[in-house]
């Protein structure tokens, strides 16, 4: 068959409504502790880098979706630079709220009403920026009891260095508050077709849509990216040699790595195992597309699925490594199934009706997100979440264009996906909270699709 026909057939199938009855149970205190994050001062000679740090720190904490960021308009006029600056004597508390910045109660009381305060000082040491960053629980009655953590960070005197330092501080803030790692420092890999081009190449960008860069230059079709758990490799499907094959590149050097492809009409939709030692993918080496596993170089082929239907798009449980979600046509239309890593205990997760495709696990290995046309006209996909243990669904998008290729952030708090919800703007990359709220558009030029989210 011609490559273009195979490509169209593959997209129509593997890339090709029930109301929610399950919700994510997160208490208000767990999800939204209030935090004040006043600008941290630094040397005037590095003003641009300091400004970049403060902007990125705020954005990284806000984007985590785990904190209630108190607006800076409520803050006192000054802020502490180190824990020793904080005062606890309520008898000396100024009447003017704007003058209470050195008091714990000044941040806990109205108008700020924060639980936590992130603060510190940036200085320059040996031609490097040094951040002394701290977090205090301002609801405590003593300075010692209020101290959550403190740490020093170093970076180059540049906006890029300051950005990385802000990411590191934000991750430590979230970890020390028991809120995971956030999004800062993670990266989204995706497929892009530029306007006027028929080629699709792989691109990468930061979690917030910044720092976009092109990864491949094959002038061909590069599809279905997958990133290894250590962030060092990216595998994908390409038509460079005519028939669809799997290529693997180093994300450190950009060079192509060895991967042996079976001599057949279709090798596609790669996925790494959690230990990074094996690759699962769909291949037609047995005649009909089935799920296979190989070593990292494509050797030691072993078949996983044995069915009379087309099986594609494997996704391996990132927590246990013992289950594979995949798409199969066994029930007539493409549906999401799950089976053990050895191919046994095969069962359908999607409820049938419409097309259910593109499964991806959450980092905890408990839920799967996928695209489904059930209840909608053919081709109008929406994103659903299913609890693997209970089989209960949650619908995350509702009648706003075609929403596809969902994928969880490493933090588990957000989902990235592609959507043409803006009509004339074409298909673009979006993120949202894992409950379907707080949508954010990340791309705007060309056609962008098939995003995956990984740690750097």
Instruction: Dump the DSSP string for 312-374.
Output: EEEEE-TTTS-EEEEEE-TTSS-EEEEEETTS-S-EE-S-SSS-EEEEEE-TTSSEEEEEE-T
Domains of the chain: 3-26+185-455 (2.120.10.30), 34-176 (3.40.50.10070)
Give me the phi and psi of 178, to 5 degrees please: 70, 30
8 Å CB contact between 448 and 190: yes
The count of other CB atoms within 10 Å of the CB of residue 49 is 24
The CA-based dihedral angle spanning residues 323, 329, 332, 333, taken in that order and rounded to the nearest 10 degrees: 90
User: For the segment 186-210, what is each residue's pLDDT rounded down to a tens digit?
Assistant: 999 999 999 999 999 999 999 999 9
In the numeric block, which tokens belong to residue 120?
């510190």
User: For the segment 243-301, what is each residue's pLDDT rounded down to a tens digit?
Assistant: 999 999 999 999 999 999 999 999 999 999 999 999 999 999 999 999 999 999 999 99
In the numeric block, which tokens belong to residue 38?
């006043």
Q: What is the pLDDT along the chain (456 residues), one digit of tens a residue?
A: 333 333 333 443 443 333 333 333 333 344 589 999 999 999 999 999 999 999 999 999 999 989 999 999 999 999 999 999 999 988 899 999 999 999 999 999 999 999 999 999 999 999 999 999 999 999 999 999 999 999 999 999 999 999 999 999 999 999 999 998 899 999 999 999 999 999 999 999 999 999 999 999 999 999 999 999 999 999 999 999 999 999 999 999 999 999 999 999 999 999 999 999 999 999 999 999 999 999 999 999 999 999 999 999 999 999 999 999 999 999 999 999 999 999 999 999 998 888 999 999 999 999 999 999 986 666 689 999 999 999 999 999 988 899 999 999 999 999 999 999 998 789 999 999 999 999 999 999 999 999 999 987
């Amino acid at each position: 068959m011609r490559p273009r026909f195979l490509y169209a057939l593959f997209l129509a199938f593997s890339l090709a409504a029930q109301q929610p009855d399950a919700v994510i149970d997160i208490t208000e205190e767990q999800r939204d502790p209030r935090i004040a994050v006043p600008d941290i001062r630094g040397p005037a000679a590095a003003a641009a880098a300091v400004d970049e740090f403060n902007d990125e720190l705020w954005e990284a904490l806000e984007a985590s979706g785990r904190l209630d960021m108190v607006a800076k308009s409520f803050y006192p006029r000054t802020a502490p630079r180190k824990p020793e600056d904080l005062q606890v004597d309520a008898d000396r508390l100024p009447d003017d709220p704007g003058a209470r910045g050195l008091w714990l109660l000044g941040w806990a009381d109205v108008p700020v009403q924060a639980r936590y305060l992130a603060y510190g000082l940036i200085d320059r040491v040996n031609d490097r920026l040094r951040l002394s960053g701290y977090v205090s629980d301002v609801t405590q009655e003593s300075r010692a009891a209020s101290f959550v953590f403190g740490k020093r960070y170093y970076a180059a005197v540049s906006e890029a260095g300051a950005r990385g330092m802000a990411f590191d501080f934000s991750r430590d803030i979230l970890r020390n508050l028991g809120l995971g790692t956030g999004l800062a420092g993670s990266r989204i890999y995706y497929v892009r077709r530029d306007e006027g081009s028929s080629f699709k190449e792989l691109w990468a960008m930061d979690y917030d849509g910044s720092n976009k860069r092109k990864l491949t230059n094959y002038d061909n079709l590069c599809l279905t990216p997958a990133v290894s758990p250590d962030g060092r490799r990216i595998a994908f499907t390409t038509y460079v040699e005519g028939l669809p094959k799997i290529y693997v590149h180093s994300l450190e050097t950009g060079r192509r790595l060895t991967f042996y492809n079976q001599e057949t009409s279709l090798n596609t939709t790669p996925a790494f195992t959690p230990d990074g030692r094996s690759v699962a993918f769909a291949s037609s080496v047995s005649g009909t597309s089935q799920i296979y596993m190989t070593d990292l170089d494509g050797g030691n082929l072993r078949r996983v699925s044995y069915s009379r239907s087309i099986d594609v798009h494997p996704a391996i449980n990132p927590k246990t490594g013992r289950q594979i979600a995949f798409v199969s046509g066994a029930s007539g239309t493409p549906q999401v199934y799950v089976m053990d890593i050895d191919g046994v205990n095969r069962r359908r997760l999607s409820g049938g009706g419409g097309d259910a495709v593109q499964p991806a696990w959450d980092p905890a290995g408990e839920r799967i997100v996928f695209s489904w046309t059930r209840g909608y006209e053919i081709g109008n996909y929406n994103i659903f979440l299913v609890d693997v243990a209970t089989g209960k669904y949650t619908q995350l998008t509702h009648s706003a264009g075609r929403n596809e290729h969902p994928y969880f952030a490493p933090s588990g708090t957000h989902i990235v996906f592609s959507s043409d919800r803006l009509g004339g703007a074409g298909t673009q990359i979006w993120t949202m909270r894992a409950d379907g709220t707080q949508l954010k558009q990340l791309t705007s030029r060309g056609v962008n699709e098939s995003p995956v989210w990984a740690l750097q």
